[in-house]
Structure 1
């Protein structure tokens, strides 16, 4: 065994976005992450250039298909655009997603910051039968 210290992996905003996406999609009542035109245009902005210049930076913003994650000074902020199932109360789904994403972020060693949820659609689940 060596006494040399091993540097840990860096948690990036891209990883936080991935964790937030997976966590949201595993939440009952969430049908999908909803990409928007606004999100697509934002990805073409300055943050995209920053990600190209320094993709391993711990500080920064990552946007992809309805998810934005920003890490700033050890705090992770997330914005999710989601579609929910009409069989669930949208507010309850959003609150549950917020809570679960906060918990998931806390496991990375970062401090969870704001977790914003925008519900862009409320629709019947394709597997739901109509009465």
Structure 2
């Protein structure tokens, strides 16, 4: 028997970003999230002060170091910038991240929308053997 859903719980864009980050970093083949200059500048843009006052919202966007999460009308969309391990096929890693993040979002009660992955680096990770 499953637990009944929590009534009145609030799922924010910041929470979705945090969930997506953790899920991504736990995916085999992912080395790290890649913060970009574009993401940094977006945080410093006109919404920066609003972001400091309201870091995550029920409807809105939250950006932080390689992850952007947006909630709109009960749908959560995520964009991730990642670095992958050369010992893994980058496309397989991206697909695994998409599937795992989609599953994680579905557990929040929100509808998973687009899960976009940008692979910014493919590197040899110490401790892995290239096959």
Structure-1 residue corresponding to 2:3: none
Larger Rg: 1
Give the secondary-structure state (helix, strand or coil) at the position aligned to 1:39.
Answer: helix
Q: Does 1:30 align with 2:30?
A: yes
Q: CA RMSD in A?
A: 1.8
Cα distance in 2 between the residues matched to 1:32 and 1:10: 28
TM-score, normalised via structure 1 length: 0.88
The offset of 1:48, in angstroms, is: 3.0
Task: Provide, for residues 33-74 of structure 1, a one-character-per-residue CA deviation record: whole Å limited to 9, x for no partner.
Answer: 011111101111234333334446300100000000000011
The offset of 1:112, in angstroms, is: 0.3
Structure-2 residue corresponding to 1:3: none
Point out where structure 2 has 5 or more consecutive residues left out of the alignment: 1-5
The offset of 1:129, in angstroms, is: 5.0
The offset of 1:23, in angstroms, is: 0.3
Cα distance in 2 between the residues matched to 1:73 and 1:94: 26
The 8 Å contact of residues 85 and 122 in structure 1, kept in 2 or not, is answered as: yes
Aligned length: 126
TM-score, normalised via structure 2 length: 0.88
Point out where structure 1 has 5 or more consecutive residues left out of the alignment: 1-5
Residues 1-131 of structure 1: pairs in structure 2 closer than 5 A: 7-55=7-55, 57-129=57-129
Cα distance in 1 between the residues matched to 2:81 and 2:56: 25
